[in-house]
Amino acid sequence: MKYWNLTGAGRERLEVAEGDAPVAGYGEVLVKVASVSLNYRDMLVIGGQIGVGRPDRFTPASDMCGAVVACGPGVTRFAVGDRVLSTYVPGWIDGRTPGTASRPGVQTMGGPRQGVLAEYVALPAEWLVAAPASLDDAQASTLPIAGVTAWYSLIEKGGLRAGQTVVAQGTGGVALFGVQIAKAHGARVIVTSSDDAKLERAKALGADIGINRLKTDWAQAVLAATDGVGADHILEIAAGPGLTKSVHAAALHAQIAVIGVIEGLELTAPVVEVLTKQVTIRGIWVAHRRAAEDFVRAVDTLGLEPVIDAEYAFEDLQQALDHLERGPFGKVVVRVGA
């Protein structure tokens, strides 16, 4: 089979390699990968900023959709021909994240664990979920991180209710899934971006208000749009010093889901405002398998359609990463299998 191999930090160390396809061992299934969805974290892993300690043979990326082509002994969850999705935190089935305070369970797919940018992967059946019947392979591949993160933040942990206001930062995968999930649950949605054209596309997708963060103070604009009440839920994609803006825009007892690290790996926020508003700031590490299964059911029930900005051939990974770095509207997908 062919697979993408990263021999060291940096995109110049990425190469297409060939080797024997893996074999499904006890409790494992062999999956023929159809599509892989890229995430911002993949660039950080490839660049060496996170996911350190890689072996010489390392395959990046965590999100895939494919078909089971063989089952090892002891497998009962899936059968040959089933379409499946990967999960970001392998083995986290439900409840608390594996690990302890001193050793959190961070053995995620695509860094530090081996990833899925390969024609075949052998994975424990317990790590996989059934793909939604209503989506094709490319669309389904966008769910494991972006879709599940938005669902877990707003529904599982956030308890989103109709009539509440949601702020989605940016127009990447998590944000646009957040728009669709929030609208499907009767919420009002505000999207922030630095691109007016993308804001118009987000409104066409269902967002009620678009705010260009380069042309105005977006936190003040949120307060103005809500008559001073603020937002009940904020999908915090930027982090870093950007958290201060989110706290300013937050309503009393609001929930801020910290998802991304685009503006830095440290958080800055006004403590007095956090206290007086009684804001909940929650770190989101995607979600457990049960939440992913719940989201798959919701996708099929609600008819959600992931937004894919572009698809690239397997050999064109570098171009796909260029697109990801520019900032897509939605997701960037790599086609692996026919």
Quickly count: other Cβ atoms within 10 Å of residue 10's Cβ: 11
| pLDDT reported for residue 55 | 65
Compute the distance between CA of residue 309 and CA of residue 328 in angstroms, rounded to an integer: 6
Query: Strand pairing partners for 30?
Result: 70, 122
Average pLDDT, the chain: 94
Q: Judge whether residue 266 has pLDDT over 70.
A: yes
Domains of the chain: 2-145+306-335 (3.90.180.10), 158-283 (3.40.50.720)
6 band by pLDDT with thresholds 50, 70 and 90: very high
Classified as helix, coil or strand, 234 is strand
| pLDDT reported for residue 310 | 98
Residue type, 164: Q
Judging by beta carbons within 10 Å of its beta carbon (0-12, 13-18, 19+), is residue 245 exposed, middle or buried? buried
Compute the distance between CA of residue 167 and CA of residue 160 in angstroms, rounded to an integer: 12
Within 284-337, residue ranges assigned H as helices are 289-302, 317-326
Q: Is there a contact between 325 and 123 (Cβ–Cβ < 8 Å)? A: no
∠ CA 106-50-9, nearest 5°, is 135
| pLDDT reported for residue 241 | 81
**Listed range (2-6, 53-57, 273-277) with the worst mean pLDDT:** 53-57
pTM recorded for the entire structure? 0.96
CA distances from 293 to 96, 183, 287 (A): 16, 20, 10
| pLDDT reported for residue 122 | 98
Compute the distance between CA of residue 41 and CA of residue 26 in angstroms, rounded to an integer: 31
Residue type, 332: V
262: region left, alpha or beta (phi > 0 left; psi from -120 to 50 alpha): alpha
| pLDDT reported for residue 107 | 83
Sequence-distant (≥ 6) Cβ neighbours of residue 153 within 8 angstroms: 178, 233, 235, 257, 259, 282, 284
